Amino acid sequence: MTTLNLAIAGSTGDADQDGAGNVSTSGLTLGADLDSTSEWVGLRFTGVGAMAGGTVLSATVDVIPTGSAADEPLVTIWAKLADPGNWVDDGGTGSAAISTGSKTTASVSWSNTNLGANGTTRYSSPDISSVVSEVVNQSGWSDTAIAILIQGGATSTRDLSIKAYDDSAANAATLTIEFVSKNTQRLSMTGCG
């Protein structure tokens, strides 16, 4: 088993999209409140190429909510089926770069009425291994990055706002994945004779 602990690589590695489709990669926080299904956060993690064809055992997105007023997630987590490269339209042209394009059919809901956030503690999403598996097990997939998408919920009383890379690289979202590589699986099966 291998564990990957991946971090956002730079300022353009995380972004949010408002209800009008405007995307921004600058700012200290992401998601405004993520209290509408038209609000999105995109998180791009590099270093996943070794996972192609492997078995994902577990995966979580780990975030620092900005504080107790924005720590009640009612969100859905997806992934892009292909690496977007970056969240291109910083500055707000309404191109909806995060929510558009092909995404996984697998998704995971994250619902908690109070994480107890204090603005410094990291919290993990539920297991998103089904989402990550769908990406890395696509036929011919060879990307070295994965883009995790967080879609806001449909109620204004459940807010989630998280710290961005621009707040501090140490406070940016992380992605933790435990997996067995395709080569390890092959070796294990070969040795079963």
Please state the rounded mean pLDDT for residues 119-127.
96
Please state the rounded mean pLDDT for residues 151-172.
91
Find which of 47-51, 88-92, 124-128 is predicted with most confidence, using mean pLDDT: 124-128
What pLDDT score was predicted for residue 88? 52
Task: Assess whether pLDDT exceeds 80 at residue 87.
Answer: no
148 beta partners:
43, 79
Please give the residue that has the higher pLDDT: either 29 or 31. Answer: 29
Please give the residue that has the higher pLDDT: either 91 or 72. Answer: 72
Domains and CATH numbers, the chain: 2-190 (2.60.120)
Tokens of 19: 């209800």
Task: Assess whether pLDDT exceeds 70 at residue 8.
Answer: yes
d(CA 34, CA 41): 8
Calculate the dihedral angle through the C-alpha atoms of 128, 98, 91, 65, rounding to the nearest 10 degrees.
Answer: -20
What pLDDT score was predicted for residue 12? 86
pLDDT band at 190 (very low <50, low <70, confident <90, very high): very low
Please state the rounded mean pLDDT for residues 114-137.
95
Burial bucket for residue 137 (CB in 10 Å: 0-12, 13-18, 19+): middle
Q: Is the pTM of this model over 0.85?
A: yes
Please state the rounded mean pLDDT for residues 106-126.
95
What pLDDT score was predicted for residue 89? 46
pLDDT band at 184 (very low <50, low <70, confident <90, very high): low
What pLDDT score was predicted for residue 140? 81
Q: Which of 164, 165, 163 is nearest to 67 (CA)?
A: 163
Neighbours of 24 (CB within 10 A): 17
Q: List the single range of 36-45, 101-110, 136-145 with lowest mean pLDDT.
A: 136-145
What pLDDT score was predicted for residue 53? 81
What pLDDT score was predicted for residue 21? 84
Encode pLDDT of 40-53 as tens digits: 999 999 988 878 88
Element of type H or E holding 131: helix 129-136
